[in-house]
Structure 1
Amino acid sequence: MMRLFCAFALAWVCYAQQRLDLTPFARPCCSAEKHQVQTFFDYTHPAGLVRRAAGGWVYGFQWAEERDVEEIQVRFNSKAAARAPVIQYWFRHWPLPAPASHTVEDRVDDPWQGEWIAAATEARWEGALCRLRFLPLEGGENPNAKNLPGVRYRRAIKLRLL
């Protein structure tokens, strides 16, 4: 059962391959399929594991701006009752095509416009800790994969585990 979540950590991709836990910088989100509130964050969304109206459980995070996520770590109470969760990320534009000329700004995803995409991942278990790493990005997962094929991270403003 998904109530066995104890800890959740995200690793941020940076040039030196140092990792940073992004969860302290995020707000809880994502039990609904669409962001319905008019504020950037849903400040009334409960924290932690939440039952979805459609059934099942969700554990979600939203940041003020897009983040590059390489690895997700989930610690369960015990491995016996655990299964690797499905990771979904919020998608509209990423990855963008390479710029053809100077631009003022790049398009970025926002909490309102987009859709959830299930990411291709591999799970590695270390006792009750499940490390989920993204598989290389392909067109079967993301229609814009041709713009940045083979990367092993995902850029998202929202991320959730089902």
Structure 2
Amino acid sequence: IQVETDDMPDSLSAAKILKGVVEKEGPDMVILGKQSIDSDNNQTGQMLGALTGMPQGTFASKVEVGDGFVNVTREIDGGLQTVKLNLPAVVTTDLRLNEPRYASLPNIMKAKRKPLETTSPDELGVEVKRTIKLLKVETPAERSAGVKVADVDELVDKLKNEAKVL
């Protein structure tokens, strides 16, 4: 399903659009990328989970679907964490979840003949409006060049006397 709009939706509008698709289709699992759909903000999946009331597993590096549930494993600072979610659920993926497959030319040609349903936010009952306003973008201050030292003794001397961090 392709949702066409002239406006660039922000994270909340994208989540509302996806909520409309979820209500229409009734999927058991919604899988989203971690960041790309929402301008690299990492918000749309979590917002979709909240709007639909579905449980959510974020940053999935491994997904195992069972009968009425899904186990989502993700990397955390201390190792791995696995959560068991009842279906239907929202899962956002980490880049380690899957090895991409590249379609062959015959399969690309077959896909071109498949019908593609298009809809609009209006048909889904969603108003697309930007709630975030970009005020200004500026480059960071230039950093000064570093200093090379000949040996450890000179490094310790500079850290003590010039930088005063030791």
Q: Which has the higher strand share?
A: 1
Q: Which has the higher helix share?
A: 2
State TM-score, norm by structure 2: 0.24
Q: Which has the greater radius of gyration?
A: 2
State TM-score, norm by structure 1: 0.25
